[in-house]
Structure formats: C-alpha cells, structure tokens
C-alpha cells in the first residue's frame, strides 16, 4: 500500500484530491493543505483551504460556491450585519461551528494537525489531511496600492488590486509538518501530486516552508502536476489575472516553469501539450477539466498512471 502525497489549495485542488481519495484505498492518500490563506477574523482561527478540502472530502461541500458547506443557513451573518459587525467574509452557521471549535482547541494548546486529524475522522474522511505546518504562515499580496493581507485582497477587495508580488510571512521560521517529511522519505512512495491549484497563492506557500521543496525534489517518487490552466485560461479564480499582472504569459508552461526543479510529469489539456515541447518533463495529455465526479476520478487515475509509468521508466 504505497502512499500518495498531494499538495493542494482550495477549490481546484480539492476537486482532484476528491478524485484521488475515491480511486485510492483507505489510508493511501495524504493531502497537504496550504495554510497561507489562514487568518484570524471575528476572534476565530479560519483555515479556508483546509476547510474546503475537509468539506469536499467529507461530501459536505457546497457545489454552488466551491467553499463553505452545502445546505448552509446564514442566521449568524444576518444577525451580525444587523449589529453593524463585519460581514465581508461570509461564515455560515454550520461552518461557524468548525471555526469556533478549532479556535477553542488551538487556544487550549492543540496543534492544527491534531485538530484537523480529529475533525477528519469525525467527518468520516478516509484520506489523511494535514496543514503544511503547525506554525503560522500568512500570504501577503503586494499590489499597486501597497501590501495587503491575503483575505483583504482575495475576499474583501475581490482580487481587484493589481498584483506585483507575494510574500509568505512567517514561512522562514515555520517547521514543515513532520509527517509530510516522513512520507516524503518513504522509499516506496508512489507519487507526489501537485494539484491544479493557483501556483502563486496555493502551491508556492507550501513550497516556501523550509525543507519541503528540497524533500519533494529528493523523494523517490515521481512528482506529477496537473495544470490549472486550460487553453490559456484559468478555470476559475484569479490565477490568469495574476499571471498577466506579473508580466507572465498565461499558459500551462508558465505554471510548469514555477515547479521546474520538482516536476517529472505534467498532466495538461491536449491543446496545451504542444506548447510544452522541449521542456524537461514528461507531458501527459488528458481531460483535465473536472465537472463531474466521474471527471475527478478519471483524472486521478490518469495522474496515477502517469506517475506509475514514470516509476517504471524514469
Ligand atoms: P483556491 O485556494 O480556492 O483559490 O483554489 P486552488 O488554488 O486550489 O484552485 C484554483 C485553481 O484551480 C485555478 O487556477 C483554476 O484554474 C483551477 N481549477 C479549478 N477547477 C479546475 C478543473 O476542473 N481543472 C483544472 N485543471 N483546474 C481547475
């Protein structure tokens, strides 16, 4: 039962993480979540990518939004608004329970890893889910208007300010979650999968945790990424907008270049495969747009097949 390690942000990454969880046996998959989006709001510790992954893997996700819980109610938010409280970050009533309980347990001295592990078991999730680090890392966005905290940029300002760069505050002092390093040292590790997440704000914060990038580069398994860009466009979210603002071309190749030191395989849409000619990576064309559950499972199998082929013929 060789392990598979997947790196993921929120919505795009969680789609593939769900596919992997469904095609792999129980206990085979470990999903590492970006915690650069985490923040403290209304006195609560909020971990948006961990929660999107948790709800998706538990079948509790809201298919309409991609974030939050399905069948959510909003009594808390409307009561808060009536009192003049901050309502720009939407917290549904059921979702609120996660933040309240997580915050209480963090304050009592538990680690984010231990809390996440307990939540996922209680929600019946077979895959392991863990934060990249138990130490705080906070993504900040440099914009034409100056530095903004991530959620200020992403949710409050809806990604409108023009981006000029990023920093991952706290990353230099953060310790990688030790189980991730342990998994990366396994000689029979089957694959490391970089999910189709935003490279700048979902994957690079994970890779910024000291030791993680080097451990991925040195691991025995093939490292395979799935492009979040299809035919020069992002499926959702600000990935394409950021690329343009940073002076990069919006292509699958641009994403591959950010992981060039890590990648053995790259799964892309057929129309993008040619643009990767000449790169030092094995390209696998596949249907990488995940609309249905069957799409997620099919892509997960394609990624694992690509990794297995690389293991046999490195
Ligand atoms: P966030 O943390 O919620 O922003 O989510 P991620 O960073 O994990 O995912 C955002 C990325 O997912 C965007 O760049 C999208 O283009 C990509 N994405 C969303 N859905 C799909 C899909 O079905 N297929 C692929 N290949 N990429 C997707």
Strands (E), the chain: 4-8, 29-33, 39-41, 44-46, 128-131, 138-143, 146-149, 163-169, 191-194, 223-226, 229-230, 233-234, 265-268, 282-285
Structural domain spans, the chain? 4-40+48-59+127-312
Cα(9) to centroid of ligand 1, in Å?
Answer: 8
Annotate 242-255 with DSSP letters as a single string: HHHHTT---SHHHH
pLDDT digits (tens, 9 = 90+) for 200-209: 999 999 999 9
Strand order in the sheet with 138-143: 146-149, 138-143, 163-169
Q: Say if strands 233-234 and 229-230 run parallel, antiparallel, or are unpaired.
A: antiparallel
Say if CB 129 and CB 179 are below 8 A apart: no
The one-character DSSP state at 25 is: P
pLDDT digits (tens, 9 = 90+) for 220-229: 999 999 999 9
- Low pLDDT (below 70) residues in the chain: 1, 314
Looking at residue 277, its pLDDT comes to 86
| Homologous superfamily, domain 4-40+48-59+127-312 | CofD-like domains (3.40.50.10680)
Cα(169) to centroid of ligand 1, in Å?
Answer: 23
Residue of 34, 228, 289 to test ligand 1 pocket, by largest number of atoms within 8 Å of CB: 228
Cα(251) to centroid of ligand 1, in Å?
Answer: 14
Q: Which residues line ligand 1 (CB under 6 A)?
A: 8-13, 15, 49, 196-198, 202, 226-228, 230, 234-237, 239, 288-290
Cα(197) to centroid of ligand 1, in Å?
Answer: 5
Looking at residue 66, its pLDDT comes to 86
pTM of the model: 0.97
């Amino acid at each position: 039962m060789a392990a598979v390690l997947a790196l993921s942000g929120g919505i795009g990454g969680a789609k593939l993480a769900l596919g992997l969880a469904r095609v792999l046996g129980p206990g085979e998959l470990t999903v590492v979540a970006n915690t650069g989006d985490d923040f403290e709001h209304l006195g609560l510790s909020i971990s948006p990518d961990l929660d999107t992954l948790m709800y998706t893997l538990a079948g509790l996700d809201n298919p309409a939004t991609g974030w939050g819980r399905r069948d959510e109610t909003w009594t808390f938010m409307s009561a808060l608004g009536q009192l003049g409280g901050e309502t720009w970050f939407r917290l549904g009533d059921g979702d609120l329970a996660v933040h309240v309980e997580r915050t209480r347990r963090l304050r009592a001295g538990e680690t984010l890893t231990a809390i996440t592990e307990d939540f996922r078991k209680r929600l019946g999730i077979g895959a392991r889910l863990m934060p990249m680090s138990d130490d705080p890392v906070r993504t900040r966005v440099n914009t034409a208007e100056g530095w903004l905290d991530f959620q200020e940029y992403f949710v409050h300002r809806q990604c409108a300010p023009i981006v000029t760069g990023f920093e991952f505050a706290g990353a230099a002092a953060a310790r990688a979650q030790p189980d991730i390093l342990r998994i990366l040292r396994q000689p029979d590790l089957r694959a490391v999968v970089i999910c189709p997440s935003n490279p700048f704000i979902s994957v690079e914060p994970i890779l910024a945790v000291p030791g993680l990038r080097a451990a991925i580069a040195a691991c025995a398994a093939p490292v395979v990424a799935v492009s979040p860009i299809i035919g020069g466009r992002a499926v959702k979210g600000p990935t394409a907008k950021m690329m343009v603002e940073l002076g990069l071309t919006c292509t699958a190749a641009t994403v591959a270049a950010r992981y060039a030191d890590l990648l053995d395989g790259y799964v892309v849409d057929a129309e993008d495969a040619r643009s990767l000619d000449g790169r030092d990576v094995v390209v696998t064309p596949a249907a990488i747009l995940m609309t249905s559950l069957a799409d997620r499972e099919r892509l997960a199998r394609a990624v694992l097949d690509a990794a297995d082929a690389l293991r046999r013929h490195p």
